Amino acid sequence: MAGRICVAQIGGPHGIRGEVKLKSFTADPMAVKNYAPLESEDGAAQFEIETLRAGKGHLVARLRGIADRSTAAQLTHLRLFVPRERLPPPLPEEFYHVDLIGLRVLTQDGTEIGSIVAVHDFGAGDILEVEIAQSREHIMLPFTEAFVPRVDIAGGFIMVVPPEDFDESS
């Protein structure tokens, strides 16, 4: 999956003429239109955005070939991907979320506690899902500077400040 990056997700239909609510994950939300064609996660379907406009809390997109609400509804929650080479390279000190997957998770004293298995956005900011090495259990950490003061993509790790009640053996 590292060769493809999720750039948007369809939220559901908008109106009766086949438009969809779209959540863009690109730095400039309107730029998602520039990366066509967008592909389903399995690569079986491709989509091209014909029109894109701002809605209330989301974008509204018309996708080529989608002309009615029932067809649009079938795309609800569909994540849309593009090949990584179609996106601009990240600037220094920037990265794509996919670059975090697999990084070792270290505490400030250098103790390795696990690795990142996913990055989530449930609406209130990014969350890192970390698999604890000893127990194989998963914990969620806010992806904020307070909890993650250092990201070193080249070094293959992030440094975290775990919550006070964290116990790596559980």
User: How many domains is the chain partitioned into structurally?
Assistant: 2
What pLDDT, in 10s, does the model give residues 108-149? 999 999 999 999 877 678 899 999 988 889 999 999 999 999
Q: Which residues pair with 142 in a beta bridge?
A: 127
Q: Which helix (H) or strand (E) holds 72?
A: helix 69-73
What pLDDT, in 10s, does the model give residues 56-87? 889 999 999 999 999 999 999 999 999 989 88
Residue range 7-28: mean pLDDT, rounded:
94
What is the value of pTM for the model shown? 0.74
Mean pLDDT computed over every residue of the chain: 90
pLDDT bucket at 94, cuts 50 / 70 / 90: confident
How many other CB atoms are found less than 10 A from the CB of residue 22? Answer: 25
Q: Are residues 134 and 80 located together in one domain of the fold?
A: no
Question: What distance in Å separates the CA atoms of residue 75 and residue 65, rounded to the nearest whole number?
Answer: 12
pLDDT at res. 115: 96
- CATH number of the domain bearing residue 81: 2.40.30.60
What is the span of the domain harbouring residue 25? 4-85
pLDDT at res. 1: 42
Whether 91 is covered by a domain: the verdict is no
Q: Residue 108: exposed, middle, or buried by beta-carbon count in 10 A (0-12, 13-18, 19+)?
A: exposed
Q: Are residues 68 and 137 located together in one domain of the fold?
A: no
Q: Are residues 75 and 116 located together in one domain of the fold?
A: no
pLDDT at res. 138: 93
Q: Are residues 11 and 80 located together in one domain of the fold?
A: yes
